[in-house]
Structure 1
């Protein structure tokens, strides 16, 4: 068996792990019998006998007892800031993640929540995870459903896409949505049939003022409590590096306050949203990006080009088979911002010399980005900028060839093959739905794709995400894109070492190698050995950040 040690002189380890499978995600040393940690860093990986020299009288010997040790998971894309508030919101995900099976079930959950928490009249109630695609008979949650039970509370039921939500009348009044309001470019305001009255669903650019105005923790005590609660959600999922995927200036100040207070137990990588960039740069110059400050770093800048395919706001070259979200005919979706604006924004980020994360779902949105890249990077198209196209769900094969040529990273989203495949089949057709997040082709073309949950769009469940990449089975039990399945190891790389590369952290994270941080996760089974359909049942037993256990599953 291969083994590797840190440079001499040998120091006694703080901890040595042994007695179970050790999956290194290091192609040069695929497995090991033991792993030693000193001062939060891996100092040796190899045979247990060879690691005996690292055992001192104070060394803690951890017997895995048949469980599996891996590098901790790295979150390639989620909305970390939302974890600070969802503990005080209602889960209305569709099964199996939640109880949202109909408008009535969602209202019932809201009613139960208000009663249990004794929420006073006039106080905003929020829920997350609403998915109209699973509502029976095509019914949608609307303002009337909410008004009937909550005439005195503003209610916002956030759409599962995170790109909008359903508002009741009190919330409409709070955020000034009226019949006279014009729908902004790139936005959606669903109107009550036969009238101009907003009927509940607000999406994309029309929703941005709502999103920006949502309540946030303000006092130091609130920020500390919310940060601890949010980060434990990631720790329980085996994640030690989280992603904040569209950071507004006010959100960044909250995160920086938490960092200054020293309460972060995981690393957080934040990407300021392009519309807030000038405000963020006032206190955070470009040279400060890419450097952790008490476990928080600015990773780059986020630009959004289109919406969500399940919300029918993603931008395609061909029309949706089912029309637009408001019944529009020949609907292809629209870009969030005009193309000329996007080109200038991409150029601005490239000139700042910081990484770009760009949201694009539909193939027309990806075409638009590629044109923006060619405009902004003219003369240096293939420079390694760690530009990442978040989601890239309906990327075409010819577009992935451009990714490879231009050194662009696709961060894919295989969970849609379970949660939204039926909606994509209805909206886009089976053939296009089957090429959703084509991880097999991406790998075969030499790319190093990452994979993500987009939490809170999907739950923080890394084993379910890995399962979706390996199996590509829908909620209805149908396989979407069997030719795009990957091996468990390839799927594991998409949530560890490939994410480290995305963040320019491959020298310190993502695999179990000497000199790297001891960011570890212990699972009750080895995902490389269990039956593929059983991967989703694997449990996180412990999460270790730089040698310190931050989560331990109760026995």
Structure 2
């Protein structure tokens, strides 16, 4: 009977239309406690209509075609990448990737380089191989692996070609003399900086970071985000995201630039894009354009900026505590071994007032944090606002969660925060940071997800691409195994289970976005979003999670194959 139904069903096209059907895969992972042993799922239009045993669904819905095309696939809830930066990813895709880790973008592979000599040699090779006079744009530099890099170093590679080096964190740019000239950056551009910000804008060395970078970024973005370049980069990013099995993305901290948003809408907004995109405004960018009295009205106005499959998520905002993890600009309780200081991304008074404005308006507040002192500031401000204006289910989100202290975990639980962590920090940074800047004990405990899980705090996983590859399987692998470049397990007690890791890129990611009623599990009534895998990530050897083959996705009932 099943063979007859399969023959009948495949006599018309299934490959692209959201047809009603009963899908029977090799294995089904629902993440719904009501259907732990289900073997089939019925799709009706763009939603899941029923879940259960295949025999029961066929009997209950005898006129619904049976789809056996996934009989060799593992069907799981669609991956959700809830923290990705499409614009930065597009710039990265248009750049020469010279990073500390291996990257494969479509068919182009870049092998990781972790020493200064190899890094400079690679830059020279790239520059000499260029046949045009275009600038050399490279992303992935990390000063603790590659050494200090200045304008003079880059001038030695070429004094004729503009060279722009984008730090792995995207919070630091380094340029040679020709690049400063090419982008039109002059010392006069820095006159508006205060004393603290001037430390972050070193014109003589061609180095600009954090708030110092913000001053010159508009001139640089005229080139990096030029329509033709950015559309090409976004198109590559779209294909890359799809091939990781992702069915829904979110961008917390979207730039306030309508032209750039138009490019995102153009590439990601059409009906054939294999995922939906949700954007969350950045309070940091909003404050550059509006005063406090205008913030809420102008933030609400952004809801009209999306088109098609691109939308702004209502009542969500992103704030910033301390600096970048890759730059060692996070603010730490016990400081750094070399005596340098971290950086606050928002001045304390501005942070407190901005938090208050959005808190009182009922927003879910997502806050970039990497240092334990940065986390202290967040928890103190949240505690003050809870006492002043209590809110239930506020879902204030700690974003990145680089360094924290054990004593903060209980306070986080009491205050009702949730965690959006980047577990990729552990494999790429824990060994080096154990030796440089921070020390062994603190670095073994970075991204302490084990403690978070034991406290029953909701946790989700993100890439912050391009800070990490936008691969949910790679993120799961990092969180479950925590194996670093020294081939050692960093902080064994901070590992989490494969189940918690899978929830972190599906069900809990949906919860973080306030969309758990529509996404995150294979449950009746939710969107029919599935990721198709070759192996089950809950039963495969945990050391092989990152190697599981992604075979395609189903998004709102429509199959998107490779």
TM-score, normalised with respect to structure 2: 0.84
Instruction: Tell me, yes or no, if the aligned pair for 2:269 and 2:310 is still in contact at 8 Å.
Output: no
Q: Which of 474, 496, 508 is the matching residue for 2:506?
A: 496
Tell me whether 1:319 sits opposite 2:328 in the alignment: no
Distance of 2:162 and 2:59 partners within structure 1 = 64
1:98-497 equivalences under 5 Å are 98-101=110-113, 102-107=115-120, 109-110=122-123, 118-120=131-133, 123-135=134-146, 139-173=147-181, 174=183, 176=185, 178=187, 185=196, 189=200, 198-213=204-219, 214=221, 215=223, 217=225, 219=227, 225-250=232-257, 251-256=260-265, 258=267, 264-277=273-286, 279=289, 286=300, 294-299=308-313, 300-321=316-337, 323=338, 330-426=339-435, 427-497=437-507
Structure 1 residue 362: deviation in Å? 0.4
Distance of 2:234 and 2:453 partners within structure 1 = 36
3-state SS of 1:207 partner: helix
Structure 1 residue 425: deviation in Å? 1.0
Distance of 1:306 and 1:172 partners within structure 2 = 28
Distance of 1:188 and 1:312 partners within structure 2 = 15
Structure 1 residue 398: deviation in Å? 2.5
Instruction: Tell me, yes or no, if the aligned pair for 2:268 and 2:277 is still in contact at 8 Å.
Output: no
Consecutive unaligned residues in structure 2, runs of 5 or more: 1-17, 104-109
Structure 1 residue 143: deviation in Å? 2.5
Q: Deviations over 1:324-350 (max 9, x none)?
A: xxxxxx334131222111101111222
Structure 1 residue 132: deviation in Å? 2.5
**Residues 465, 186 of structure 1: alpha-carbon distance in 2 compared, 3 angstrom cutoff:** farther
Instruction: Tell me, yes or no, if the aligned pair for 1:147 and 1:168 is still in contact at 8 Å.
Output: yes
Distance of 2:55 and 2:460 partners within structure 1 = 35
Q: Deviations over 1:41-82 (max 9, x none)?
A: 112222111121477778361343443111111113221222
Tell me whether 1:91 sits opposite 2:97 in the alignment: yes
Distance of 2:389 and 2:456 partners within structure 1 = 20
3-state SS of 1:202 partner: strand
User: Which of 201-210 and 463-472 deviates more?
Assistant: 201-210
Q: Deviations over 1:206-245 (max 9, x none)?
A: 11234444135555x7766544332222111111111223
Distance of 2:21 and 2:199 partners within structure 1 = 55
Instruction: Tell me, yes or no, if the aligned pair for 1:434 and 1:480 is still in contact at 8 Å.
Output: yes
Consecutive unaligned residues in structure 1, runs of 5 or more: 1-11, 192-196, 324-329
Structure 1 residue 291: deviation in Å? 11
Distance of 2:121 and 2:91 partners within structure 1 = 21
Structure 1 match to 2:12: none
**Residues 257, 461 of structure 1: alpha-carbon distance in 2 compared, 3 angstrom cutoff:** closer
3-state SS of 2:54 partner: coil
Structure 2 match to 1:7: none
Distance of 2:278 and 2:63 partners within structure 1 = 38
Distance of 1:46 and 1:165 partners within structure 2 = 53
Instruction: Tell me, yes or no, if the aligned pair for 1:218 and 1:254 is still in contact at 8 Å.
Output: no
**Residues 223, 525 of structure 1: alpha-carbon distance in 2 compared, 3 angstrom cutoff:** same
**Residues 254, 63 of structure 1: alpha-carbon distance in 2 compared, 3 angstrom cutoff:** closer
Q: Deviations over 1:251-275 (max 9, x none)?
A: 4344345566656432212122213
User: Which of 28-37 and 402-411 deviates more?
Assistant: 28-37
Aligned residues: 523
